[in-house]
Copies of this chain bind each other. A is one copy, B any other.
Amino acid sequence: MVLDAHLDTPLVLDRPGFDISARHDPMHDYAQIDLPRMREGGLDGGFWVIYTPQGDLTPQGYEDALAHAWHRNSVIDKMMTDHADDFMPATTADDAVTIVAQGKHVVYKSIENAYPLGMDITRLDAFYDAGVRMVGLVHMTNNQFADSSTDPDGPKWNGLSPLGEALIQRANELGMIVDMSHAHDVALAQAIDLSTTPVILSHSGAGHLYEHPRNVGDALLLDLAASGGVIHINSLSAYLKDLDTDPARGAALSALFKQLHENPLKSEADTKAFLKARRDIDTKYPPDFASFDDVMAHIYHAHELMGAAHIGIGLDWDGGGGVDGLQDITGLPNITLAMREAGFSDQDIGAMWSKNLLRVLRYVEDARNLP
Chain A residues engaging chain B, CB cutoff 8 angstroms: 14, 59-60, 62-63, 66-67, 70-71, 73-75, 77-78, 80-82, 84-85, 88-89, 118, 123, 126, 129-131, 266-267, 370
Of the candidates B66, B74, B80, the one whose C-beta lies within 8 Å of that of A73 is: B74
Please give, as numbers and ranges, the residues of chain B lying within 8 Å of A62 by CB-CB distance. 63
User: In the bound complex, what is the Cα–Cα distance between A88 and B84 (angstroms)?
Assistant: 9
Known A62-B63, A71-B130, A266-B370: A81·B84 in contact at CB below 8 Å: yes
User: In the bound complex, what is the Cα–Cα distance between A266 and B370 (angstroms)?
Assistant: 9
For this complex, 20 residue pairs linking A to B, each with C-beta atoms less than 8 Å apart, are A14-B129, A59-B59, A59-B60, A62-B63, A63-B118, A66-B67, A67-B70, A67-B123, A67-B126, A71-B129, A73-B74, A74-B74, A77-B77, A78-B129, A78-B130, A80-B80, A81-B81, A81-B88, A81-B89, A267-B370
Least Cβ distance of A345 to chain B in Å? 36
Please give, as numbers and ranges, the residues of chain B lying within 8 Å of A131 by CB-CB distance. 74, 78
Least Cβ distance of A295 to chain B in Å? 33
Decide: A129 and B59 in contact? CB cutoff 8 A. no
Known A84-B88, A126-B67: A74·B75 in contact at CB below 8 Å: no
Decide: B118 and A74 in contact? CB cutoff 8 A. no
User: In the bound complex, what is the Cα–Cα distance between A131 and B129 (angstroms)?
Assistant: 20
Which of A59, A70, A73, A88 counts the most chain B CB atoms within 10 A? A70
Please give, as numbers and ranges, the residues of chain B lying within 8 Å of A267 by CB-CB distance. 370
A64 nearest CB neighbor, chain B only: B120
A104 nearest CB neighbor, chain B only: B84
Least Cβ distance of A307 to chain B in Å? 36
A89 nearest CB neighbor, chain B only: B81
Please give, as numbers and ranges, the residues of chain B lying within 8 Å of A129 by CB-CB distance. 14, 71, 74-75, 78
Please give, as numbers and ranges, the residues of chain B lying within 8 Å of A88 by CB-CB distance. 81, 84
User: In the bound complex, what is the Cα–Cα distance between A201 and B67 (angstroms)?
Assistant: 28
**3 nearest CB pairs, A to B:** A70-B70, A84-B84, A77-B77
Please give, as numbers and ranges, the residues of chain B lying within 8 Å of A80 by CB-CB distance. 77, 80-81, 84
Least Cβ distance of A122 to chain B in Å? 10
Please give, as numbers and ranges, the residues of chain B lying within 8 Å of A71 by CB-CB distance. 70, 126, 129-130
User: In the bound complex, what is the Cα–Cα distance between A70 and B78 (angstroms)?
Assistant: 13
Please give, as numbers and ranges, the residues of chain B lying within 8 Å of A14 by CB-CB distance. 129
